[in-house]
C-alpha cells in the first residue's frame, strides 16, 4: 500500500515511526505539511519520495492509494472530503469530528465515494486491549456491567488543542473520545448508547474549554461506560481501564505502571515517554511506545481491510458514534441532566433487554451469595423465587 500522511506534527511522527521504522510492505510515498522547510525535513528523515504543501495535490498524487490524516481536529473534515473527491481510502486520527454533525458528513462522504474510512483509534489496538477484548468476547468475565476508562495528563503540546473552536472542546473531546470507544468495545458495539450524565469544568487553565471531566454513558442493556479525563493531572500520562463483569474483572494500565521502572540521576537527559513530567529519579518508561500504544496493530488492521475489501475494526461509523456520545456529554455538562445520545443512523441491535437469568440455588430459591468466612463457616444467602424472602441456609 502506498500512503500519504497529511501533517508533520506529533501524531504524524508516531504514525511514521510505526509505518517506516519497522520493515513493512506498506510505504509512505507522500507527506503534506504547510511549511516548505518542515515538509522537506520530514520527507528526508523518513525517506519519503514525494512531499507537497498543497493538500489536494498530495491526496490526488498517482503514487498514493490511501491517506492518513494527522492534522488538527478542525481540518479533518476538509481533508476527508478531499480524499473522497480523489477516491482515495482515508484513515483519520481521533476524534473523527469536532462534533457528530462533522463526523456524519465524513461518514457519508466516504460511503458515497465507495472508499474505506478507517478510524485511527490506537488505544483500541494495544496488545493488552486486544487480549482483554478477546477474553470479554469469549465470555471470560461474563456480562459487562461497567467499563471505565481514564486518560489524564498535564495538557497537550500544541496551541490549537487549547482553542475550543479549533479542537471542538477541551479534554473531553481530546481524551474522552479514546475512553468512550474503549468502553464501547467492552460493552459491545452493537449496544445502543442511550444517554449521558456528565460533569465538566475549567479548573486550572485559563481557557474557555473544560480541563477536567467525568461522564457516565448508559447503554440499552443497562451497562455503564465511564470516562475520566483531565488536562491538569500531574505525574505523566495515566491511561487505565477497568472492566467489571458478572464473572470476572479486568484492570489495564497502559502507561505509568507497566512493569518497567528505571532510576536515573538525569545524566542521559533522555526522552522517557509521552507527557512524562520528569526525566530524573524513578521513571516509568513504556518501552516501544508505538507498539504499546497500538499503532502497529492498528495500521495492520486498516491495510488488511483495504486490501481485502472489508471494514477495519474501527471505522468512521465508530468515530461518528463516539462524537454523538460526546455531544450528549457536552449537553449534559451544560444542563446538569441526563441527556439523550442522538444518532441519526443506528446500525446496531434494537432488541435489547435488561432481563437477567439469576442462578438458582435449588428449584425454590435463587442463590444471592456464598462465602467462606474466617471462622470456617460457609454462608449461603438465598431468595425465595415466589415469596421474595431473603434467607440464610
Ligand X SMILES: NC(=O)c1ccc[n+]([C@@H]2O[C@H](COP(=O)([O-])OP(=O)(O)OC[C@H]3O[C@@H](n4cnc5c(N)ncnc54)[C@H](O)[C@@H]3O)[C@@H](O)[C@H]2O)c1
Q: List contacts with ligand X (CB under 6 A).
A: 7-12, 33-34, 70-73, 75, 93-94, 120, 122, 158
Closest distance to ligand X from the beta carbon of 229 (Å): 13
Closest distance to ligand X from the beta carbon of 212 (Å): 18
Q: Which residue is nearest to ligand X (CB)?
A: 9
Nearer to ligand X, 120 or 302 (CB): 120
Q: Give counts: helices (H), strands (E), the chain.
A: 12, 18
| Residue 318: C-alpha distances to residues 78, 80, 91, 104, 124 (Å) | 19, 16, 13, 11, 11
Closest distance to ligand X from the beta carbon of 113 (Å): 21
Nearer to ligand X, 144 or 325 (CB): 325
Nearer to ligand X, 255 or 284 (CB): 255
Nearer to ligand X, 295 or 365 (CB): 295
Q: How many angstroms separate the CA atoms of 318 and 337, rounded?
A: 25
Q: 228 CB contacts (<8 Å, ≥6 apart)?
A: 148, 149, 150, 151, 152, 179, 213, 214
Q: How many angstroms separate the CA atoms of 79 and 59, rounded?
A: 9
Nearer to ligand X, 59 or 382 (CB): 59
Closest distance to ligand X from the beta carbon of 124 (Å): 10
DSSP letters, 334-348, are HHSS-EE---SS--S
Closest distance to ligand X from the beta carbon of 92 (Å): 8
Q: How many angstroms separate the CA atoms of 60 and 39, rounded?
A: 17
Nearer to ligand X, 83 or 216 (CB): 83
Q: Is the dihedral of CA 4, 6, 10, 11 positive or negative?
A: negative
Closest distance to ligand X from the beta carbon of 357 (Å): 40
Q: How many angstroms separate the CA atoms of 143 and 141, rounded?
A: 7
Amino acid at each position: 500500500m502506498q500512503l500519504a500522511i497529511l501533517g508533520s506534527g506529533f501524531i504524524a511522527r508516531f504514525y511514521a515511526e510505526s509505518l517506516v521504522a519497522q520493515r513493512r510492505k506498506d510505504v509512505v510515498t507522500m507527506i503534506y505539511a504547510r511549511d516548505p522547510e518542515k515538509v522537506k525535513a520530514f520527507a528526508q528523515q523518513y525517506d519519503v519520495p514525494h512531499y507537497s504543501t498543497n493538500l489536494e495535490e498530495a491526496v490526488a498524487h498517482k503514487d498514493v492509494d490511501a491517506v492518513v490524516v494527522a492534522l488538527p481536529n478542525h481540518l479533518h473534515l476538509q481533508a476527508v472530503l478531499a480524499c473522497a473527491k480523489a477516491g482515495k481510502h482515508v484513515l483519520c486520527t481521533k476524534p473523527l469530528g469536532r462534533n457528530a454533525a462533522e463526523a456524519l458528513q465524513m461518514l457519508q462522504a466516504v460511503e458515497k465515494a465507495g472508499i474505506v474510512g478507517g478510524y485511527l483509534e490506537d488505544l483500541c489496538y494495544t496488545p493488552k486491549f486486544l487480549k482483554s477484548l478477546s477474553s470479554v468476547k469469549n465470555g471470560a468475565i461474563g456480562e459487562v456491567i461497567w467499563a471505565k476508562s481514564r486518560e489524564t495528563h498535564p495538557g497537550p503540546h500544541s496551541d490549537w488543542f487549547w482553542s475550543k473552536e479549533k479542537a471542538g472542546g477541551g479534554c473531553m473531546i481530546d481524551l474522552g473520545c479514546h475512553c468512550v470507544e474503549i468502553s464501547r468495545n467492552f460493552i459491545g458495539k452493537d449496544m445502543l448508547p442511550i444517554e449521558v450524565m456528565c460533569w465538566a469544568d475549567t479548573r486550572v487553565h485559563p481557557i474557555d474549554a473544560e480541563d477536567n471531566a467525568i461522564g457516565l454513558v448508559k447503554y440499552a442493556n443497562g451497562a455503564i461506560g465511564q470516562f475520566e479525563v483531565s488536562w491538569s493531572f500531574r505525574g505523566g500520562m495515566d491511561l487505565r481501564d477497568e472492566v467489571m463483569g458478572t464473572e470476572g474483572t479486568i484492570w489495564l494500565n497502559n502507561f505509568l505502571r507497566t512493569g518497567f521502572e528505571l532510576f536515573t540521576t538525569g545524566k542521559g537527559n533522555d526522552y522517557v515517554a509521552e507527557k512524562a513530567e520528569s526525566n530524573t529519579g524513578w521513571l516509568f518508561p513504556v518501552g516501544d511506545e508505538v507498539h504499546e500504544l497500538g499503532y502497529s496493530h492498528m495500521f495492520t488492521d486498516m491495510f488488511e481491510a483495504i486490501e481485502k475489501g472489508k471494514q477495519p475494526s474501527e471505522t468512521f461509523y465508530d468515530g461518528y458514534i463516539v462524537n454523538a456520545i460526546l455531544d450528549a456529554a457536552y449537553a449534559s455538562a451544560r444542563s446538569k441532566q441526563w441527556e439523550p445520545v442522538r444518532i441519526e443512523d443506528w446500525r446496531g441491535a434494537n432488541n435489547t433487554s435488561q432481563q437477567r437469568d439469576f442462578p438458582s440455588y435449588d428449584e425454590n430459591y435463587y442463590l444471592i451469595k456464598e462465602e467462606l468466612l474466617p471462622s470456617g463457616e460457609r454462608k449461603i444467602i438465598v431468595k425465595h423465587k415466589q415469596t421474595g424472602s431473603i434467607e440464610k441456609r
